[in-house]
Structure 1
């Protein structure tokens, strides 16, 4: 893989396909894609309403040194034909609608830990990398409310 970010719909989908391909070739447990917080939001985006459930498998700590919660940017992981993401209740409703448009995708697990504000969702994605890339790009835009020009990063492959 030679590039790790993209900011147009076509380039983002290509990046997702490349990340999935690299992940499979390397035999890694998953690949992680994240929205760049600097380009993620629409001008009228209400950042207070967007808080992901902490539970990413990336081992990151969502808290600052002073104990305050730091908002994580939207992220989506793919591994073993499964998408993994966190969302708020509002985002979950948008996600269910989006999954309904992809017949090869199915919500397999919803987990809402007591200590997290949100739900971790596992979606089986029995589709080729191109179809998964279409879903991921739309999820960043339609579920997380990211702007048309959001930059998506492949942060782990």
Structure 2
């Protein structure tokens, strides 16, 4: 791979498909995609000094036909709805440790690179509620 980020739906899906192909070709342990923090206005009229860049950003891992992601309760409901739209995908495991806020979700995903890329992009937009022009990074292959 020669590029590692994209910020349009078409380019992100191509990037994700290329990353899945590289992951499979290399036999790497996993592939990780992260969403960049949302753009923040230069001036916050509400006076809210909370810095979104300091907050953890959404991520998605793929390894051996399995997606792995962390969700809040609301995000978990949205990911369940999204998985329903992909009949070849199944939620295999939900883990909610007492020491963590939220749920780790493992989804079996047996499909081609383009279908996996479509799902990954929709996770960021529909589950994590990123805008259509969000920037994603492939941070590990």
Query: Do they fold alike, i.e. is TM over 0.5?
Result: yes
1:114 pairs with 2:95: no
Q: CA deviation at 1:22?
A: 1.0
Structure 1 portions without partners, runs of 5+: 41-47, 51-69
**What is the root-mean-square deviation in Å for CA atoms of aligned residues?**
1.7
Q: Distance in 1 between matches of 2:108 and 2:119?
A: 12
| Counterparts of 1:79 and 1:20, CA distance in 2 | 9
- TM-score by structure 1 length? 0.79
Q: Does 1:26 align with 2:26?
A: yes
2:102 aligned with 1:102, yes or no? no
Unaligned 5+ segments in structure 2 are 41-49
The residue that corresponds to 1:152 in the other structure is 136
Alpha-carbon distance in 1 for matches of 2:38, 2:83: 27
Distance in 2, matches of 1:3 and 1:95, equals 28
Give the distance between the partners of 1:101 and 1:138, measured in 2 at CA.
11
Q: Which residue of 2 aligns with 1:139?
A: 123
The 8 Å contact of residues 88 and 118 in structure 1, kept in 2 or not, is answered as yes
Partner in structure 2 of residue 65 of structure 1 = none
SS at match of 2:28: coil
1:127 aligns with 2:106: no
Matches of 1:156 and 1:39, distance apart in 2: 23
Displacement of 1:6 in angstroms is: 0.4
1:39: how far off?
Answer: 4.4
TM-score (norm 2): 0.88
Moved over 6 A (4+): none
Question: 1: CA distance between counterparts of 2:10 and 2:39?
Answer: 16
Distance 2:2 2:63 in 1: 20
* Alignment map for 1:20-59 (pairs within 5 Å): 20-39=20-39
Kindly tell me: are residues 34 and 96 of structure 1, through their superposed partners in 2, closer, same or farther at Cα, counting changes over 3 Å? same
Question: What residue in structure 1 maps to residue 15 of structure 2?
Answer: 15
Give, in angstroms, the shift of residue 38 of structure 1: 3.7
Q: How many residues align?
A: 130
